[in-house]
Amino acid sequence: MPRSSVSKTSSSSLNADHHGRNIVILSHNVSNDVASGYFDVNTLLTGRIDVLARCVNSALWISNGIRKDTSVFLMLFPHNVTIEVRGQEVTGLNPDERTMALCLQRTLLSGNTNSLLQLEWLREKDLKPPDTVNPHKPGSYSKSEKKSFRVVRKHREAMIRRIYRSLNDAGERSDDAPNGFILHTNDSLEERLRLWKSEGGVTNTFMMDELGDPLANVLASRNNKCEQHNNSDGSTTTTIILADQMGYSACDESMLAENDDVTKVSLGPISLLTSQCITITHNLLDIQSAVEA
């Protein structure tokens, strides 16, 4: 992965302290529509927005509250776009996937400079009609096919109307991403790891992989060294790198394998959902924090 600069569409500083936990989700083969914010929050399976929303919720939510020490980084490839969600700054969230999807969409739209033009193109784009026709009426479609076609068109029109409401009256992009949501462009995992290392302090970086060492054992072995591995404010930054349902790319695996600061860990031999891995990892880290305290 080539090195690229990291920029933002928020006044928040990229070099702000990241003490606590960083959850990095690598999402590959993301469509241009999704990376631009053009997706329907009522059909989250399209583009697998449900996976992204579920991962953020798993990373941030605890019972009746938000993990203030956690930041989430959704890295969308091949567009090199990253959505950062800072637990200490988010407000007004609900623990459901649709609310989270709306926040992600609003953040992506805040960085889109050609929203109106792309929306008009999307509105004029013809939907593909059903492949089959009614054999009793050549050239026509059955009632069920016509109904399905109308439902798809209706959903698309509703999506476009919601996106229009996210834009200002002049049709320009909106800079008001939700609190705690920051959009980074020209981003890369390699550059972000290098940035965190340059900030100083101690960072434990783990890559989730079924062939890695058990995370519980790795944390236990480091527990005796916690006094030497504390930052000046008494905390340690832990970064967890995971992939979505598509898995790691060959470039990801090669770059992370060559990074001496990254430890490959696992939660067991069985493949789990990314959101499940985040929840279990949080639990193990919580137990370690309690022991250290």
- Do the Cβ atoms of 221 and 285 come closer than 8 Å? no
Q: Per mean pLDDT, which range of 22-26, 76-80, 118-122 is the poorest?
A: 118-122
* DSSP code per residue over 75-129: EETTTTEEEEEETTT--S--SSHHHHHHHHHHHHHTT-TTHHHHHHHHHHSPPPP
Which are the contacts of 154, defined by CB distance < 8 A and separation ≥ 6? none
Q: Is the pLDDT of residue 137 over 90?
A: no
pLDDT of residue 189: 93
φ and ψ of 160, to 5 deg: -65, -40
Cα(137)–Cα(147) distance, integer angstroms: 17
- pTM here? 0.77
| CA dihedral sign, ordered 86, 92, 94, 97 | negative
Q: What is the pLDDT of residue 237?
A: 87
Q: Looking at per-residue confidence, does 114 or 185 come out higher?
A: 185
Residue 190: pLDDT over 80: yes
Q: Per-residue confidence at 67, pLDDT binned at 50, 70, 90? A: very high
C-alpha to C-alpha distance for 267 and 277, rounded to whole angstroms? 7
Confidence tier at 141 by pLDDT (50, 70, 90): low
- Position 232 scores a pLDDT of 47
Query: At residue 115, what is the residue type?
Result: S
Residue 28: its H or E element: none
| Burial label, 86 (beta-carbon count in 10 A; 0-12, 13-18, 19+) | buried
Residue 285, pLDDT score: 93
- Mean pLDDT of the region 260-267: 94
**Which is more confidently placed, 259 or 293?**
259
How high is the mean pLDDT of the chain?
78
Output the CA torsion 234→237→238→244 (10° steps).
150
Amino acid code (one letter) for 58? S
Q: What is the pLDDT of residue 2?
A: 37
In this prediction, residues 156-178 reach a mean pLDDT of 60
For range 93-101, the mean pLDDT: 91
pLDDT digits (tens, 9 = 90+) for 17-31: 444 899 999 999 998
User: What's the whole-number mean pLDDT along residues 55-61?
Assistant: 96
Residue-wise pLDDT for 3-18, tens only, equals: 333 444 443 333 334 4
Nearest to 242 by CA among 20, 26, 18: 26
Going by pLDDT thresholds of 50, 70 and 90, the confidence category of residue 205 is very high
Beta strands in the chain (DSSP E): 7-8, 21-27, 61-62, 65-66, 70-76, 81-86, 181-185, 203-214, 237-243, 262-266
Say if residue 50's pLDDT is above 90: yes
The H helix count followed by the E strand count for the chain is 9, 10
For residue 116, the model assigns a pLDDT of 47
User: What whole-number distance in Å separates Cα of residue 6 and Cα of residue 62?
Assistant: 30
Rounded to whole angstroms, the Cα distance separating 196 from 209 reads 22
User: Is the pLDDT score of 214 beyond 70?
Assistant: yes
